[in-house]
């Protein structure tokens, strides 16, 4: 027998067992209709004397995977999740949560409020709210510790990770783990409970297990290092500490109060913005959502250098057969050794097994012969940043590739249209710009040329997801988005040294803002020879002041190449920690005298504004030109690729929070101080200020004519 209890809930009776079936695709989120339907189901269960147990079961690929994020910025509708939780907890007859897929956030809180939990052996459990700057608000922090202990619960809540079904059973979160037909197993489990007296077990009635009180202080310290700058993880410790010494009902009320407070916090708004922005970034402007990508089952990588190796490892980790092409057997042998060593490091860290290493290496073929690429579906070119070298590679590929094979260039700054024009089938050409080290960095800038076919663009985005990257589609632009904006921050950091700042002051300001590393410590890590080569490649396109600002060249000429030589902007000992070096101060003083810059005191505020606002202004120009489809795409690029703190939402989101009128005023001030060519406000900023809008206040802007 079946009857409807709400739009997304249906009921089935199986003898004395009532099944409430949740069907709210794609992830059975706890939308209002689900909450209301489940409350109605509990009411019917309570009023029906013929049924003795209720099981909550979800169709589709998962159990309730959490709250409906679309309702976050809307007035709460009753029944709230807390109301549903209270009804489940107060029920006088046993309720069983039957879990498959994932039980996350509010979904896990629903399960915690039930008397029993049964799950498939493939299920996973978590309270990931902290990743959105939030904490559980419907019993997660007050129920979970009672079931699995304070230490286990604190880790799950403060870090937002997931545990597997086996671990959940071992810790006491799940009563039974099964394989096969979950609904049938849940009905059988319910009948067992009925046969044994139909006992109700309320987690709210359980005592808090004893624990070492030193745990809280230790966890605070760990979280401060692991999640520097984040508020919610530390508040999780506060809530758990409160829960251990407060009656259940009072603790639940305090949990809800804190959750509501966090929903309105700047950090949560920023993190929720990024959550939505990453999903929006997957949409390609001008390409319909129903355009399917081409099949990619075998990939070639051209160039066995550092970048080519990283890309190869990334592809192997995704289970793709790879042909790595080099100019010589020696270069390929060196690459093979480096790839194996990197994978062996993953084995030592426990990321993969020894057998998985063997399987990955078995997927890899190396060759100097382009003829062997006749059956690959996609080629990623990762040779030196020289237009003629790349054209030579493309001409060889044109002779051997199939008509549907895609050529993707990993260029960092060369003109994508000029590269596309050098291949026989430009519609099969696009950019896939990985960041070094390619097997670690999350960001992937996929680059469209003016002639890229829609299904080629769809293929690069789908492949990016398959590789575990955060792919963002960008357009034609020197340096694309990430490096183009970074170059403006780097320019200002150099100019600030010329005017009187010290490397350690600039680095301290930017790491204090939230970046994991400052620009000068980063330069020392990359190597001054690398930085000097990159500067030389762009020198002809620089302004006269940028050309004369040759601090990098002077450091390289002095043999101060950074960490690799023990000296760069800083001195380095065996611990690799940067130390201030008076010799750099002397080098900078000499440079200032040669260039006619009197040393002056520079405030931390000026350093921060010049470095950040130069980036934001460039981001506005990128949107104007159509090189980025959305301001939010820029936010995703910078938080995924260059360490912009996620709790600040990305540069364009941050600009909206500061206020564009204030940023425009500062840009005008620095135009006078540094030069109009560096700080004149972008036309888009002028337009938005005049209209009283922000970057994210309306749909994407068309390129300005």
Question: What are the tens digits of pLDDT across the range 415-441?
Answer: 999 999 999 999 999 999 999 999 999
Last residue of a domain, one of 210, 239, 263: 263
Assess contact for 364 and 416: CB atoms under 8 A: no
What's the pLDDT score for residue 212? 94
Q: Percentage of the chain surpassing pLDDT 70?
A: 97
Last residue of a domain, one of 599, 617, 638: 599
Q: Are residues 304 and 354 in the same domain?
A: yes
State the DSSP code for 562.
B
Assess contact for 272 and 258: CB atoms under 8 A: no
Question: Across-strand partners of 571?
Answer: 567, 579
pLDDT, tens digit (0-9, with 9 covering 90-100), for 605-626? 999 999 999 999 999 999 999 9
Q: Which domain holds residue 167?
A: 2-263
- How many separate domains does the chain show? 4
What's the pLDDT score for residue 413? 85
pLDDT, tens digit (0-9, with 9 covering 90-100), for 140-190? 999 999 999 999 999 999 999 999 999 999 999 999 999 999 999 999 999
Task: For residues 318-342, give the mean pLDDT.
Answer: 97
pLDDT at 360 over 60: yes
Catalytic positions are 109, 129
pLDDT, tens digit (0-9, with 9 covering 90-100), for 108-125? 999 999 999 999 999 999
pLDDT at 537 over 90: no
Instruction: Please state, in angstroms and as integers, the Cα–Cα distance from residue 50 to each residue in 22, 45, 170, 674, following that order.
Output: 22, 9, 34, 81
- E strand residue ranges, 297-391: 299-302, 322-325, 364-367, 378-381
Average pLDDT, the chain: 95
Q: How many residues does the chain have?
A: 705
Q: Are residues 558 and 614 in the same domain?
A: no
Any idea which of 67-71, 194-198, 575-579 has the lowest mean pLDDT?
Answer: 67-71
Q: Which phi and psi angles does 484 have, rounded to 5°?
A: -65, -45
pLDDT at 531 over 50: yes
In the sheet that holds 176-178, the strands lie side by side as 2-6, 9-14, 17-22, 53-58, 95-99, 116-120, 176-178
Q: Are residues 367 and 396 in the same domain?
A: yes
Q: Are residues 182 and 234 in the same domain?
A: yes
Helix, strand, coil percentages for the chain (3-state, nearest 5) = 50, 15, 35
In a domain, 294, yes or no: no
Give the CATH number for residue 620.
1.10.1040.10
Assess contact for 428 and 394: CB atoms under 8 A: no
Task: For residues 571-594, give the mean pLDDT.
Answer: 95
Q: Are residues 259 and 408 in the same domain?
A: no
Q: Are residues 438 and 522 in the same domain?
A: no
Q: Are residues 75 and 158 in the same domain?
A: yes
Last residue of a domain, one of 599, 625, 653: 599
Q: Are residues 568 and 661 in the same domain?
A: no
Task: For residues 332-361, give the mean pLDDT.
Answer: 96
Q: In this structure, are strands 378-381 and 364-367 parallel, antiparallel, or unpaired? A: unpaired
The residues, ordered by sequence, that sit 6+ positions from 190 with a Cβ below 8 Å of its Cβ are 16, 17, 53, 55, 94, 96
Q: Are residues 593 and 609 in the same domain?
A: no
Name the band, by pLDDT with cuts 50, 70 and 90, for residue 72. Answer: low
Say how far apart CA 655 and CA 661 lie, in whole Å: 10
For the chain, what is the radius of gyration of the CA atoms? 29
Any idea which of 68-82, 130-144, 266-280 has the lowest mean pLDDT?
Answer: 68-82
Rounding to the nearest 10 degrees, give the CA dihedral for residues 228, 232, 234, 239. -170
Say how far apart CA 529 and CA 423 lie, in whole Å: 33
Tokens standing for residue 134:
């939030």
Name the band, by pLDDT with cuts 50, 70 and 90, for residue 73. Answer: low
Side-chain-side CA neighbours of 118 within 13 Å: the count stands at: 24
pLDDT at 1 over 60: no
Q: Are residues 156 and 245 in the same domain?
A: yes
């Amino acid at each position: 027998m079946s009857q409807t209890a709400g739009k997304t809930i249906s009921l089935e009776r199986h003898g004395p067992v009532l099944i409430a079936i949740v069907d709210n695709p794609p992830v059975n989120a706890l939308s209002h209709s689900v909450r209301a339907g489940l409350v109605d189901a509990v009411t019917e269960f309570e009023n029906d004397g013929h049924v003795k147990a209720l099981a909550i079961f979800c169709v589709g690929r998962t159990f309730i995977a959490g709250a409906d994020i679309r309702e976050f910025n809307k007035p709460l509708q009753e029944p709230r999740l807390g109301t549903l939780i209270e009804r489940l907890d107060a029920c006088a007859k046993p309720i069983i949560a039957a879990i498959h897929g994932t039980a996350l956030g509010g979904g896990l809180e629903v399960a915690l409020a039930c008397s029993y939990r049964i799950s498939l052996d493939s299920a996973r459990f978590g309270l990931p709210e902290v990743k959105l700057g939030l904490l559980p608000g419907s019993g997660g922090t007050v129920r979970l510790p009672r079931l699995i202990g304070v230490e286990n619960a604190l880790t799950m809540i403060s870090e937002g990770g997931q545990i597997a079904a086996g671990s959940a059973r071992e810790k006491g979160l799940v009563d039974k783990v099964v394989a096969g037909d979950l609904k049938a197993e849940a009905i059988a489990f319910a009948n067992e409970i009925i046969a044994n007296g139909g006992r109700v077990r309320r987690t709210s009635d359980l005592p808090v297990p004893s624990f070492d009180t030193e745990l809280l202080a230790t966890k605070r310290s760990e979280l401060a290092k692991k999640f520097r700058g984040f508020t919610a993880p530390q508040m999780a410790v506060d809530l758990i500490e409160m829960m251990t010494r407060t009656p259940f009902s009072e603790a639940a009320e305090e949990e809800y109060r804190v959750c509501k407070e966090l929903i309105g916090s700047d950090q949560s708004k920023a993190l929720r913005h990024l959550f939505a922005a990453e999903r929006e970034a997957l949409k390609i402007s001008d390409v319909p959502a129903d355009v399917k990508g081409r099949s990619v089952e075998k990939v070639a990588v051209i160039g066995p250098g550092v970048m080519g190796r990283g890309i190869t490892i990334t592809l192997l980790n995704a289970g793709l057969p790879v042909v790595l092409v080099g100019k010589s057997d020696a270069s390929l042998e060196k690459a093979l050794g480096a790839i194996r060593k990197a994978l062996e490091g993953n084995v030592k860290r426990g990321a993969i097994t020894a057998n998985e290493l063997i399987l990955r290496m078995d997927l890899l073929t190396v060759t100097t012969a382009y003829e062997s690429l006749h059956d690959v579906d996609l080629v990623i070119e990762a040779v030196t940043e020289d237009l003629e070298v790349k054209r030579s590679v493309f001409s060889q590929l044109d002779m051997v590739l199939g008509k549907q094979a895609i050529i993707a260039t990993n260029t960092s700054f060369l003109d994508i249209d000029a590269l596309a024009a050098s291949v026989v089938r430009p519609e099969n050409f696009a950019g896939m710009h990985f960041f070094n080290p390619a097997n670690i960095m999350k960001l992937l800038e996929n680059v469209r040329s003016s002639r890229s076919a829609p299904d080629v663009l769809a293929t690069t985005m789908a492949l990016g997801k398959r590789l575990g990257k955060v792919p963002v589609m960008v357009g034609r632009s020197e340096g694309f988005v990430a490096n183009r904006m970074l170059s403006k921050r780097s320019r200002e950091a150099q100019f600030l040294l010329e005017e009187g700042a010290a490397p350690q002051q600039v680095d301290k300001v930017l790491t204090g803002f939230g970046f994991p590393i400052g620009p000068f410590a980063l330069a020392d890590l990359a190597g001054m020879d690398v930085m000097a080569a990159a500067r030389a490649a762009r020198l002809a396109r620089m302004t006269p002041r940028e050309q004369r600002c040759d601090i990098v060249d002077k450091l390289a000429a002095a043999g101060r190449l950074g960490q690799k030589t023990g000296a760069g902007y800083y001195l380095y000992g065996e611990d690799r920690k940067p130390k201030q070096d008076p010799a750099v101060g002397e080098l900078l003083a000499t440079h200032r005298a040669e260039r006619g810059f009197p040393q002056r005191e520079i405030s931390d505020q000026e350093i921060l504004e010049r470095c950040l606002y130069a980036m934001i202004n460039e981001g506005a120009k990128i949107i104007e030109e159509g090189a980025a489809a959305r301001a939010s795409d820029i936010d995703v690029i910078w938080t995924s690729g260059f360490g912009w703190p996620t709790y600040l939402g990305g540069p364009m989101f941050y600009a909206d929070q500061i206020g564009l009128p204030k940023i425009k005023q500062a840009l005008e001030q620095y135009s006078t101080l540094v030069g109009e060519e560096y700080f004149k406000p972008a036309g888009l900023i002028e337009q938005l200020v005049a209209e009283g809008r922000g970057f994210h206040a309306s749909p994407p802007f068309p390129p300005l004519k």
